[in-house]
Each structure stands twice: as C-alpha cells, then as structure tokens.
Amino acid sequence: MTENTTTSLKTAAVQLDTLADPRLAAEGQSLLARLDKLAADMAKAPRKARISLLLDEHDGSVTNLLLDLRAKVEDAEKLKEAVGKEDGRLLSQRETLDNVLQSTTVALHNQKRRLTDEKLGIEQRIKQLDRERHVAIERLIDAGLTPEEAAGRAKPEKSAVNELSAKLEALPTTGENIQWRLGSYVHRLQMMEQAKTPGELTA
C-alpha cells in the first residue's frame, strides 16, 4: 500500500468516524429535518408576500431583488449537484475502507462471538458451582456442622466461585473495547497497520 493511498484511507476514516458522531446523528439530523420542513412550508407560502418581504430587504429595488434571487437559485442548484456527488464519494469511501478492513473486521467479530460464548460458559459454570456448593453445605449441616463451619469446609470452595465472578466482571470491558473498534474506521485502520491480532487488543 503506497503512502498516498494510506493517507487517503486515513483521511476517509477520520471523515466517516466524524460523520458517525452521535451528536450529528441525533441533533444534526434533527436540525436538518427541521430546516427541510421549514423550507417545504415556505414553498407553500404566498409568493407575493415573500416577494414583498424581499423588496423590503432590498430597499424596494426590483433589480437588486431579482439579482439576489438568481444568485440564490444558482447556489441552490450547485448545492443540489454537490450533495449528489458527495453522497457518491462517501459511498465509495465506505466501500473502499470496508474492503481494505474486511479481514480486521471479521477478526473482531470472531473475537466478539468467542467472548459471548466465554461469558455464557462462565455464567453456566458459576451456577453449577453454586449448586454443588449449596448441596455440599446442606450435607455438612446434616452431618452436625454449623452453617458457618459447613460454608468453610464445603467443596467447591467459595474462592473458586469468586474467581470466576471476577473474570466475568472483567469481560464487559473487553467487549466494549471490541465494539468500540468495530464502530471506528480509524481504530480498525490503526489495528491493521500495526498488524495486531485480536488477542493483542488494548484500550
């Protein structure tokens, strides 16, 4: 991969990550939708009333008003064309990055799946140990030990359950890290460039 290609990919990754900013997805989209609605409402408004207001803005000059309207029409047409081109460019960027990062993305999804399986396995093991421990405590109590003595001597030991519980609590952090990388082109690109394997992921 050439230096220019790498730079282009980094630029595209930064832009796509920025466009995915939750603030843009929420408030930005909402404000644009509101502007679109207002523009649609204005399109239905009486044109004579609108022209009257525009005349006031141009001190009653019909010539200046028409010049301004022509300029606005031209700007609107240019913007419409630019939006269409930008949409195509962004789609091309996304497809290019998705192709380049395919193996990295697949590796992360695989690790996420393994993590889910590991979490389920630990949860099941904890339940099993809890059941076995409960049965062991009841038997020791039936044999004449106090509840405290039984809890201290029962197998499996409480420490085994605690160890698994601690491991289970640590899993969400790893899972969040994987999801964070999956949601960012920049971080997946960095991961690919550094030739990291999913097992080497760090926060």
According to the model, what pLDDT value does residue 171 have? 84
What average pLDDT does the structure give for the chain?
A: 91
pTM for this entry:
0.70
Could you write out the three-class secondary structure of the chain? CCHHHHHHHHHHHHHHHHHCCHHHHHHHHHHHHHHHHHHHHHHHCCHHHHHHHHHHHCCCCHHHHHHHHHHHHHHHHHHHHHHHHHHHHHHHHHHHHHHHCHHHHHHHHHHHHHHHHHHHHHHHHHHHHHHHHHHHHHHHHHCCCCHHHHHHHCCCCHHHHHHHHHHHHHHHHHHHHHHHHHCCHHHHHHHHHCCCCHHHCCC
Residues of the chain with pLDDT under 50: 197-203
Among the listed residues 106, 152, 114, the one whose alpha carbon sits nearest the alpha carbon of residue 133? 152
- What is the structure's pLDDT at 200? 46
86: its two tokens: 């930008």
- CB proximity list for 131: less than 8 A, separation 6 or greater: none
